[in-house]
Amino acid sequence: MEKSPQHDERPFKTLSGWPVLALYVFLLALAIVLLVLAAQPAEPNKPAIVSIVIVSVLVLGLMPWGFFIVNPNISRVLVLFGRYRGTVRSEGFWYTNPFTIKKKVSVRAHNLNGKIIKVNDLIGNPIEIAAVVVWQVRDTARATFDVESFADFVTVQSEAAVRQLASSHPYDEGHTEVVRTSLRASANEVASELREMLQQRLDRAGVEVSEARLSHLAYAQEIASAMLQRQQATAIIAARAMIVEGAVGMVEMALAKLKAGGMVQLDDERRATLVGNLLVVLCSHENPQPVLNTGSLYT
């Protein structure tokens, strides 16, 4: 299949509208004077004057179609008889060929607040995801001639890019060793990747992506509760590991101080009992209950 030719924007120099407007007023006044002369019954050159008046009326009728205004951050794409002439970006009052079509294209920054879509992440978990994209038209020729509607093109391609991004990363870190970056924990890396993916897709429409970032990220409702329990269990395990690590350090410090002070002499069995009691006290979630031993350790 043969690809359609790609258009590139080029500037177009137009005439200032004020001198042409002055000329238009002069011709209008001249036509009125000639019309008054033609109305005189004794005018010898009446047929010639009438012809000039008719031509003047036709010219004056066409001239206003050549005037146009360019507002700030608004461009005009000029097309004459089916051919692209150029783009006017300079703001002001201008004049061009009356038969020229002057399409208005905004080059202001646009916000796209993408809708929330459901898609599977890298390991198959259903998630809900959405993105916010800031974009603007960089090449007015491509935006006008190479796509049907550049605004709709941005919307559709943004959703496709978000789907591709979600399927290329796990929701959370630690779920896979293939991809290190996750959607939740690697926000800056994911935003940069999304922007690059969008820019590649939108180059055809002459659109520049200024910023792209995830605005919504969550597990789908059918697995949200199960994933919440998994996250809670992971947090509990991590907290337990930290508590145990700290308790072991405190037990080692206690034994070292007891040995250095020479307060008691502990054999292996007494040392094991002391270590067990200290670990129970330090790792327990509840307040320990003291136990009084009225006999010896061995009775």
What single letter denotes the amino acid at residue 114? G
The answer, yes or no, to whether residue 298 has pLDDT greater than 60, is no
Angle, to 10 degrees, between the axis of helix 187-202 and the axis of helix 150-166?
Answer: 140
Say if strands 101-106 and 83-88 run parallel, antiparallel, or are unpaired: unpaired
Instruction: Sketch the domain layout of the chain as residue ranges.
Output: 15-104, 110-219, 234-283
Class of the 110-219 domain?
Answer: alpha beta
Query: Exposure string (b/e) for 48-71, b if CB count within 10 Å is 16 or more?
Result: ebbebbeebeeeeeebeebbbebe
DSSP letter string, 233-260? HHHHHHHHHHHHHHHHHHHHHHHHHHHH
Under 8 Å CB-to-CB from 82, ≥6 apart: which residues? Answer: none
Lowest mean pLDDT among 45-49, 80-84, 147-151, 226-230: 226-230
Question: 81-101 pLDDT, tens per residue?
Answer: 999 999 999 999 999 999 999
204-245, pLDDT tens digit by residue? Answer: 999 999 999 999 988 877 655 656 666 666 666 766 777 777
